Amino acid sequence: MSKRKGKSLTWKIIEQHLVDGKMEPGQEIGIRIDQTLTQDATGTMAYLHFESMGLPSVKTKRSVSYVDHNTLQTGFMNADDHIFLQTVAARFGVYFSRPGNGICHQVHLERFGVPGMTLLGSDSHTPTGGGIGMLAIGAGGLDVAVAMGGAPFYLPMPKIVKVVLKGKLQPFVSAKDVILELLRRISVKGGVGKIYEYSGPGVKTLSVPERATITNMGTELGATSSIFPSDEVTRAFLKAQKRLKDWRPLSADPDAEYDEVIELDLSTIEPLVAQPSLPDNVIEVRKLKGLKVNQVCIGSCTNSSYRDLMMMARLLKGKKIHPEVSCTLSPGSRQVLQNIERAGALRWIIDAGVRLLECTCGPCIGMGQTPGTGSISVRTFNRNFKGRSGLKDDRVYLASVETAVAAAIYGKFVDPRTLGKAPRITMPQVFTIDDGMIIPPPPPRKRKKVKVIKGPNIKYAPVKEPLPESFMVEVLLKVGDNITTDHIMPAGAKILPLRSNIPVISEYVFSGVDPEFSKRALQKGGGIIVGGENYGQGSSREHAALAPMYLGIKAVLARSFARIHWQNLVNFGILPLVFVDSADYEQLKQGDILDFSDVRRQLLEGDVITAKVVTQNRTVQFQHSLSERQKQIILAGGLLNYTRQKAIK
C-alpha cells in the first residue's frame, strides 16, 4: 500500500504531517497537529493537563477554547470553569470563544477551519471540519493538551474508504438522510479504524454545511474521521466568510488507491429517521406515519447551520407548531442567528411558536429540554443513546430538519415530501460577520502577567501509580454490547458541572447502570470491568476513563473497543484487553476474581496476556494492540507520567 502511485486526499494530508511511523494500516503513526479545539465540558481538564506540563505557550498554529456545553448556570461551578478557561486561554496563547458565540464545530468551520490542515479536538464530533477539507479528529483532553504542547498525535494508521456519491438529492431529502443511510448500511461500529473520504459527481451538489453534517455524524460510524475535497463549493463558502486566503484546492489523484469503496446514489435516498436508541437503528419516515410526537428539538452541531435554519424558517412560514408539541431551536452560532434574522427568517420561526434557546449544544448534551414521561422526542442531533436526553427511559428519534419540522407542524410523523413544494435554499455570497465574542490572546510579552483564576471546584487530575508486577482483582461490573461513554460517565445538567472535580464526579460512574458501582469500587479498592462489543462508543469525554481510574479500575476486558475510549484508557493507565476467545466473555461473571501474575513482563514480551480466573479455577487469555510507546505509557501509569519521565530524560 505504501508503494501506491495515486494518492487519496486523506493519504496526502497524513503524509504531509507524518512525523513518526509508517503509513501501513494498523501501524501506529504520529502526525503533526496544526490546530486544536476544546469545549468547556472537556476543556477545563485539558488545560489543567497543559498547565501541569510547564510550557509557556501552545505550539500549534491555532488553538481555540469554546464555551458551548456547560452554559446552564444553576450554581457557581460552570461560571467558575468559564472564568478559568478565559484566563488560561489568555495565559497560554489560545483564542477564546465566549458563551453564546456558538457551538465549537459550527464556529470553527465558519471562522478557523483551513483545508489541508490537521485539527485535533477534545470532542468526538471534531470531524465536522472534514466538511471543509480538514483532517479533523476527535480525541481525549489529555491527547489534545499534549498536541498543544507541540507533540505529535498518535493513532493507528486508518484504512481509507472511498465513498462515491452519484446523482442529486431529491426535494425534502437532505445530508442528514445521507449519513443515516450510511449508518443503516455500516452500523455504529462498522467504521472503527477507518476514514471516510467522499468523492464523485454528487459531491459538488452539496454545500459546505451539508458536507459538515455528513462528516459530523460520521463519528457515529465509529470512524476516525470523514473528509470532503476542497473545491469551488469550499471556495465560495470561505469567500462568503471573508477568508478566501485560507482556501486552496485539494482532492485525491484520479488513480488514487483505497482500502474499500462504497457507492451511494443520492437520488435514491428518501427521508429517514433513527429510532431509539442507536443512530444506526434507521428506518424510512413513511413507515412511522401517524406516530404521535410530543417534542421536537432542532439544532446542535449536526444541523444548525444557515442552510438548516433557513430551511426550517421557510417550512414554518405562515404555519404554527402543533398545540401538543414543544418545539425548540438551538442555533449553531451567533453568526447563523444574526444572518437568518437579517434575512427576515427568524420572525417566521418565532411566529410559528418555536422556543428559541441559546447558541449552544443545549438539549443534545442533556442541558435542559428533558422530554416528558413516555413521550416521543424528535431531534436533529447526532446521538439518541438511552438516557442522554436526561430521561432514563427516553424515546428519542433522530431526523433531518425537514422531517423534524413536519413532525412539529402535524404533531406526528409524516413524510416531509407531503409538505408541498420544497424551498430552495441558497447560501449567501457574503455572510454578516461579527467576531466580537471571540477573544484573541494577548501578545506573548503580556501573557506572563495574566493571572489564571481557579474556583474551588477546579482540581488537578489524580495521577495513577505505575503498573504493578502483578495484581488480583474482582470483576466489579459486567455489561453488554455498545456501552457508550454516556453509560460510563453520564452528562446532563447535574453531572457536567463536576467535570473539573474528579473525586466528586467519580461518584456517578455507571450511575445509570448500577447506582452502587462507585461505592463498591472504592470499598473493594478497585477492580476490573467486563464489556461486550464496541465498548466506549460515543463522546470523547476522557472522564469515562479518568474517573474509573480514580476508583481503582486496573483493566477493562471487552470483545472490542471504540477508538477514542480505548486511547483514553491507555492515557490513564488502564489496560484495555480484548478476549481471545469470545466464549470467555460469556463465562465471566460479576464477582469473579482474576489473578494477573507477572503482567509487566507479559506486556513487554508479547501481545497476549494470560490471567487466572481464581473463582472458576481456569485461565483466560486476552490480546492487546498496544504499540511499544503505548506499552511504556501503561507501565508508567498513564500519559502524564510518561510525558514527565521523557521530559526528565
* Grid coordinates of 425: 435554499
Q: Which of 69, 111, 307, 395 is catalytic?
A: 69
End-to-end CA, the chain: 36
Contact 209, 179 (CB under 8 A): no
Task: Find, among 204, 186, 184, 210, the residue nearest to 196 by Cα.
Answer: 186
Neighbour tally for 59: CB within 10 Å: 14
What is the DSSP secondary structure assignment for residue 387, as one 8-state letter?
T
34, 40, 81, 123: the catalytic one is 123
Does the annotation mark 383 as catalytic? yes
Give me 293's grid cell. 410526537
CA distances in angstroms from 286 to 303, 315, 316, listed in the order given: 21, 19, 21
C-alpha cell at 177: 438522510
Q: What is the C-alpha separation between 129 and 152, in angstroms, rounded?
A: 19
Question: How many CB atoms are closer than 10 A to CB 92?
Answer: 22
Q: Which one is catalytic: 8, 34, 63, 68? A: 68
d(CA 468, CA 554): 10
Exactly one of 518, 539, 540, 560 is catalytic; name it.
539
| Rounded alpha-carbon distances, angstroms, from residue 373 to 97, 294, 295, 369, 594 | 36, 10, 12, 12, 42
- Of the residues 32, 541, 543, 563, only one is catalytic, namely 541
CA 132 to chain centre: 17
Of the residues 383, 388, 487, 565, only one is catalytic, namely 383
- Is 617 buried (19+), middle (13-18) or exposed (0-12) by CB count in 10 A? exposed
Whether 69 is a known active-site residue: answer yes
Amino acid code (one letter) for 76: F
Cα 483 from Cα 138, distance rounded (Å): 19
Q: Is residue 376 a contact partner of residue 324, using CB atoms and an 8 Å limit?
A: no
Query: Would residue 123 show up in a list of annotated catalytic residues for this protein?
Result: yes
Place of cell 405562515: 318
Does residue 308 carry a catalytic annotation? Answer: no
Q: Are strands 553-558 and 527-531 parallel, antiparallel or unpaired?
A: parallel
Measure CA 464 to chain center.
Answer: 26
Quick one: the chain helix, strand, coil %, rounded to 5?
Answer: 35, 20, 45
Q: Is 183 exposed, middle or buried (0-12, 13-18, 19+ CB in 10 A)?
A: buried
- Catalytic residues, by residue number, are 68-69, 123, 383, 539, 541
